[in-house]
Structure 1
Amino acid sequence: MVSCLLALGSNLGERAGTLAAAVAELGATTGIELVAVSDTAVTKPVGGPEGQPDFLNLVVRINTSLEPLDLLAACQSIEAEHHRTREVRWGPRTLDIDVITYGQSQSTDPVLTLPHPRAAIRGFVLVPWAWMEPDAQLNGQRVSELAAAAADTPEIRRARAGA
């Protein structure tokens, strides 16, 4: 089994319910064991078109026996079940699941770059990760320090229950 970090986000529809369902579906996927789930963060959209609704974001720690591209396919299948479309880069979406880390693997494959190429600068990934794993590191740097330096971090807050 390989320890991996996944980041989930939603800014369309019933965001909290979508994230909860996606976490449950990940945990029910053959070859995936759910280890930990972060608190949910309310975040402003980063990049993409103006005027998007706020996101709810969280991260999960999993153990998996799936190969990296099979894990990506499982994530994309769950996204599709929640009517994810890919029309505008960084546009609004019902569900986004990104593979942030896959063990210590490093890859420049354009289909799945590992670790995720923008994870180290995205507060919406780093903040919930630091909440869940205060001593976590990404590429040899403390996630909490990366989070403190991320441009989008100042506006991130914990979601209230049922948000």
Structure 2
Amino acid sequence: MSVRLAHGIGDAPRDAPVDAVVALGANLGDRAETLHAAIAALRALPLTTAVRVSAPLETVAVTLHGEDEDAPRYLNAVALVTTRLAPRPLLRELHRIEAEHGRVRRERWGDRTLDLDLIAYSDERIDDDDLTVPHPRAHEREFVLAPWVDVDPDADLPGRGRVQDLLDGLRGGER
């Protein structure tokens, strides 16, 4: 695996802030309260100056086997985080916030109290065992793209194109 960072390798804080895209989701417990608390935790991150958040979107659960109408529904949102945290320290902070909200990693794509995914980090591309950005499946997920467009209508997913165009493609060209 290779790592390519536009601003250097490592965990050191960035000289200038960058925008990172974080997807939030919850389908267990008080989903709205959990997302509200997670957003507050994002706003309290060190070296972070701004957090803009989409409106929440309720969606069907997606499992390894596809959509599951019988599983508890997700409440999703996207946050644009302006930060000087490098990608790995930011990811560690996201995992810490998940753990504080009872996230237990039992099964891949299982039900969860809170899921925080680092979708993009500026226009950087990282492909390593512990971190891949842009997120490799973000372009396939309406529950990421729709809230992202809500908070940033002109967004681009590095290597994939305009987020609105990707969303339109998933919806069959309909807006």
Per the alignment, residue 85 of structure 1 pairs with 104
Structure number, greater radius of gyration: 2
Residue 26 of structure 2 contacts residue 114 of structure 2 at CA under 8 Å; is this kept in 1?
Answer: yes
1: distance between equivalents of 2:170 and 2:90?
27
**How far apart, in 1, do the equivalents of 2:31 and 2:64 lie?**
18
Q: Letter of the aligned partner of 1:3 in structure 2? A: D
SS in 1 for 2:75: strand
TM-score with structure 1 length normalisation?
0.88
Q: Would you say how many aligned residue pairs link Structure 1 and Structure 2? A: 152
Structure (1 or 2) with the greater strand fraction: 2
2:71 paired residue number: 52
**RMSD in angstroms over aligned alpha carbons?**
1.5
The SS at the match of 1:46 is strand
Q: 2: distance between equivalents of 1:86 and 1:140?
A: 29
* Aligned position for 1:98: 117
Aligned to 2:52: 36
Tell me, what secondary structure is at the counterpart of 2:82? Answer: strand
Mapped partners of 2:140, 2:146: distance in 1: 11
Post-superposition Cα deviations, 1:85-129, rounded to whole Å, max 9, x if no partner, equal: 100110000000000111111011121101011011110000011
Is this contact kept in 2: 1:48–1:88, CA < 8 A?
no
In the aligned structure 1, how far is the partner of 2:115 from the partner of 2:52? 18
Give secondary structure in 1 for the equivalent of 2:103: coil
Please tell me whether the aligned partners of residues 88 and 131 of structure 2 are also in contact (alpha carbons under 8 angstroms): yes
Residues 8 and 59 in structure 1, CA contact (< 8 A), matched pair in contact too? yes
Q: Distance in 1 between matches of 2:168 and 2:144?
A: 12
Partner residue of 1:135? 154
Pick the aligned partner of 1:19 from 27, 31, 35.
Answer: 35
In the alignment, is the contact (CA less than 8 A) between 1:26 and 1:34 conserved in 2?
A: no
2:107 pairs with 1:118: no
Can you give the 5+ residue segments of structure 1 that lack an aligned partner in the other structure?
155-163
**Paired-residue identity, %:** 45
> Any idea what SS the aligned residue of 1:124 has?
helix
Q: Find the counterpart in structure 2 of residue 3 from structure 1.
A: 19
Q: Distance in 2 between matches of 1:12 and 1:34?
A: 28
Shift of 1:131: 1.3
